[in-house]
């Protein structure tokens, strides 16, 4: 029988995402409700190594649920890749008696948690905090809904000016390895073409589609590109299209990090709160080294090593929807 957890740490790592603060709040207050001591670890694994660890109470997380970013900050840590760095990090946890850890982040963050659990026997729980929605084992990740709604609001505004000038706009959204933001925002804004890393869409197909629309005098078009698409992002696509479609007035907009910021949506606050609550419950119940997800509206537990290894896949049906609705 596993040892009862009495002191837990919580950290945010990797890229920030709206809703992380709601998750921190849920972890802290659920832990305190059960009589645990809760410690906040600043700046992710780097802060764990540098001993930036403070005890938290209910007031520590007051008035944060509506805030974007993360009050615990986040940072990359090269030192944590080494065994010496991880030993230093664990020693800082151990001297405070921290015997459970909640990590809010993506697959890189979960890899760190998995190594701590394997090397030192530390029970860890992962919460999927990433705007990319690319983690296996969950229908939702903390921050995706807010990020995609931010993209939709921006693209709607771009379509207004595209319509005023009869222009083709190529809009780049975030997503180095995953195209969910591009896919969802593109469908939601009626984009004529959507280019994502998972689908090697040949640009000659895009050119043929836009040429046909040009013949029909449909001059207002949107092409949504995930930054990780093989064409080299929006600028790469624009250069190719300009060479083949010289009569079109083409403009590029890169939304960039605006997608990471802002107050989290209601959905992101709800799923973050729900996941944070179940993270603490899992530690107390002895269910360790899992990622808390939501699948078909039920809490779903995926072993951390599986969440790291497997990849979320975009089904063919989504791309069929794109082709039909953009015709």
Of 16, 99, 107, 132, the catalytic one is 132
String of DSSP letters for 213-275: HHHTT---EEEEEETTSTTTHHHHHHHHHHHH-TTS-EEEEE-GGGGT-SPPPHHHHHHHHHH
Among 257, 261, 253, smallest CA distance to 158 is for 253
Q: How far apart (Å, rounded) are the C-alpha atoms in residues 162 and 116?
A: 51
Find tokens 């794109």 and name the residue: 322
Contacts of 214 (CB under 8 A, 6+ apart): 245, 247, 248
Q: Are strands 290-295 and 298-303 parallel, antiparallel or unpaired?
A: antiparallel
Q: What's the CA gap between 51 and 93, in Å, rounded?
A: 8
User: Residue 185: which of 218, 221, 225 has the closest Cα?
Assistant: 225
Q: Which two tokens stand for residue 294?
A: 């939501």
The closest of 173, 241, 164 to 202, measured between CA atoms, is 241
Helix, coil or strand: residue 123: coil
Nearest to 163 by CA among 249, 290, 291: 249
Do the beta carbons of residue 117 and residue 288 sit within 8 Å?
yes
132 is catalytic: yes
Main-chain phi, psi angles of 91, to 5 degrees: -60, -35
CA-CA distance, 293 to 311, in Å (whole number)? 14
How buried is 150 (Cβ within 10 angstroms: 0-12 exposed, 13-18 middle, 19+ buried)? buried
| Phi/psi of residue 125, nearest 5 degrees | -125, 135
Q: Exposed (0-12), middle (13-18) or buried (19+): which is 32, by Cβ within 10 Å? A: middle
- Catalytic positions: 132
């Amino acid at each position: 029988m596993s040892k009862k957890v009495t002191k837990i740490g919580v950290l945010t790592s990797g890229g920030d995402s709206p809703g992380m603060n709601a998750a921190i709040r849920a972890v802290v207050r659920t832990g305190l409700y059960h009589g645990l001591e809760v410690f906040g670890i600043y700046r992710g694994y780097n802060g764990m190594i540098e001993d930036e660890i403070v005890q938290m109470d209910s007031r520590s997380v007051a008035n944060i649920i509506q805030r974007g970013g993360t009050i615990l900050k986040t940072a990359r840590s090269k030192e944590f890749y080494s065994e010496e760095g991880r030993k230093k990090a664990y020693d800082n946890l151990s001297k405070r008696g921290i015997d459970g850890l909640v990590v809010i982040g993506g697959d890189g963050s979960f890899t760190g948690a998995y190594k701590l659990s394997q090397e030192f026997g530390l029970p860890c729980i992962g919460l999927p905090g990433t705007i990319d929605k690319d983690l296996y084992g969950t229908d939702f990740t903390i921050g995706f809904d807010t990020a995609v709604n931010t993209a939709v609001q921006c693209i709607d505004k771009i379509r207004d000016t595209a319509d005023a000038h009869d222009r083709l706009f190529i809009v780049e959204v975030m997503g180095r390895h995953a195209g969910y933001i591009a896919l969802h925002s593109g469908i939601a804004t009626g984009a004529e073409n959507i280019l994502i890393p998972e689908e090697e869409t040949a640009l000659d197909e895009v050119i043929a589609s836009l040429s046909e629309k040009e013949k029909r005098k449909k001059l207002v078009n949107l092409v949504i590109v995930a930054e990780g698409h093989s064409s080299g992002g929006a600028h790469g696509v624009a250069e190719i299209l300009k060479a083949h479609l010289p009569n079109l007035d083409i403009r590029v907009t890169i939304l960039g990090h605006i997608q990471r910021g802002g107050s989290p949506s209601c959905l992101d606050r709800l799923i973050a709160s729900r996941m944070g609550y179940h993270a603490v419950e899992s530690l107390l119940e002895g269910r360790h080294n899992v990622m808390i997800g939501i699948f078909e509206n039920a809490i779903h537990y995926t072993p951390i090593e599986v969440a790291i290894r497997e990849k979320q896949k975009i089904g063919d049906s989504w791309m069929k929807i794109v082709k039909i609705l953009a015709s």
